[in-house]
Structure 1
Amino acid sequence: MTDMTDPDLQPDLVDSTEYFDQAFDGAPLMAILRGMGTERSLALATTAWDLGIDLVEVPLQTPTDREALAAVVAAGRERGKDVGAGTVLDMATVEAAAESGARFTVSPGLDLEVVRASEEAGLASLPGVATATEVQRAHTAGLRWLKAFPASLLGTGWFPAMRGPFPEVRFVATGGMNARNAADFLDAGVRVVAVGSALESDAELARLAEVIAR
């Protein structure tokens, strides 16, 4: 286990906004590989990268997920692709993400302690929001990239409503997203749409390719 108290092993503090500004530049999609196991996660990560989706997230909820994350991180490193850890809820998950080689963390909700722990561990942080209050708290803390979750329940109208008071915030729509509704959410002002099972359907892949080519 890495001794994060050793100053010689402390990574540089990451600016999450700067990281995601670069990572999502010209990228309308990211991939989420939830609970798929190592072999399937590797296969779908390759599918995503081949399609032109650069960022892949592997949520951490079971020991198997951690094995899958480490394997996808290794595969991504060979192709120059960053891989993140999802469902990061606490300090222990932040540490697991860092030890697995992830470059960023994604959380379903807004916990500024998790955000700061991620950045201090050298990982960018993408916390989740679903209300104006949460967006304001994140904005006040200096965050400009946020995960809107669950996006399918928030609906496309939520995003232009948030853009009024928070024009600098960029949203990643997550939850219920697929190739059929991705374009609608992007047209509503979402900067990135996160997809998962769509990567396993040839028909969905064709639609995702159209979204990327827009």
Structure 2
Amino acid sequence: MTEQQDDWFERAFAGAPLMAILRGMGVDRSVRLAETAWDLGLDSVEVPLQTDEDERALRAVVERGVARGKSVGAGTIITPRQVTLAAESGAEYLVSPGLDPAVVRAAQDAGIPILAGVATPSEVQLAVSLGLTWLKAFPATWLGSGWFRHIRGPFPQVRFVATGGLDASNVEEFLDAGVRVAAVGSALEDASQLERLAAVLQARAVR
């Protein structure tokens, strides 16, 4: 599963160093912002799964994603039961705020790639021992961009998706620090931020 997971994330995030997180936005707003993200050039969209409404939103976004050939993930996965629910809803990948070996194993058993959340070297080391090399660093702005420069020393094989407090004003700082993917959310509803995010995507595409 490890090699398959690595390959899946490499492909999913090859086109853009940004992804979207649509937390608690309801069905219609989630679909609209997912479309905005895809139109902007963000290939991957995550819908956190915490309520029944979130489940409906995930299914609706998955349906639109399938039509457009885009990846949709389920976030805030904190129990093995949610792994099953996300899979039944059509999620292609999972995102967890923390590192729970039981959740990681449930995802691996189900054959679904998972981004487990980490914030310390010990958590990164545990994640690596579980066969993970793509990880979510959360909360990114609390950790600071310097954290990523330091953590690359002992864990050069790990690729990080940074989430938490990121928008057009700071994503480049984190990308420059070695983050492979930066996640944005409410910035997708701000016209001025959309322009800046588009500029980031264009600049990164030619590097």
Hey, what does 1:192 align to over in structure 2? 181
Structure-1-length-normalised TM-score = 0.92
Residue 93 (1) aligns with residue 82 (2): yes
Percent identity among equivalent residues?
62
Q: For 2:6, which of 4, 17, 31 is the aligned residue?
A: 17
Give 1:70-81 correspondences, 5 Å limit.
70-81=59-70
Hey, what does 2:114 align to over in structure 1? 125
2-side partners of 1:125 and 1:95: how far apart? 13
**What's the offset of the Cα at 1:26?**
3.8
**What's the offset of the Cα at 1:116?**
1.9
1:129-183 deviation line (CA, Å, top 9, x unaligned): 0000000111122211000000000001000100000001110000001010000
Hey, what does 2:28 align to over in structure 1? 39
Gaps of 5+ in 2: none
1:95-133 deviation line (CA, Å, top 9, x unaligned): 110010000000000112211211222311000000000
2-side partners of 1:14 and 1:110: how far apart? 19
Q: For 1:84, which of 63, 73, 79 is the aligned residue?
A: 73
| Partner secondary structure for residue 123 of structure 1 | coil
Q: Check whether the contact 2:15–2:43 (CA below 8 A) recurs between aligned residues.
A: no
Specify the code of the residue in structure 1 equivalent to 2:185: G
Residue 108 (1) aligns with residue 94 (2): no
Residue 172 (1) aligns with residue 193 (2): no
Residue 206 (1) aligns with residue 191 (2): no
Q: Check whether the contact 1:174–1:195 (CA below 8 A) recurs between aligned residues.
A: yes
**What's the offset of the Cα at 1:92?**
1.2
2-side partners of 1:120 and 1:177: how far apart? 32
1-side partners of 2:2 and 2:202: how far apart? 34
1:9-44 deviation line (CA, Å, top 9, x unaligned): xxx998322211111114210000000000000000
Specify the code of the residue in structure 2 equivalent to 1:29: L
Residue 53 (1) aligns with residue 42 (2): yes
User: RMSD value over aligned CA atoms?
Assistant: 1.3
Hey, what does 1:161 align to over in structure 2? 150
Specify the code of the residue in structure 1 equivalent to 2:87: A
Q: How many residues align structurally? A: 203
Hey, what does 1:4 align to over in structure 2? none
Larger displacement relative to structure 2 (134-143 or 77-86): 134-143
Structure-2-length-normalised TM-score = 0.95
| Partner secondary structure for residue 167 of structure 2 | coil
Q: Check whether the contact 1:16–1:126 (CA below 8 A) recurs between aligned residues.
A: no
| Partner secondary structure for residue 127 of structure 1 | strand
Q: Check whether the contact 1:13–1:120 (CA below 8 A) recurs between aligned residues.
A: no
Q: For 2:129, which of 130, 136, 140 is the aligned residue?
A: 140
Q: Which has the higher helix share?
A: 2
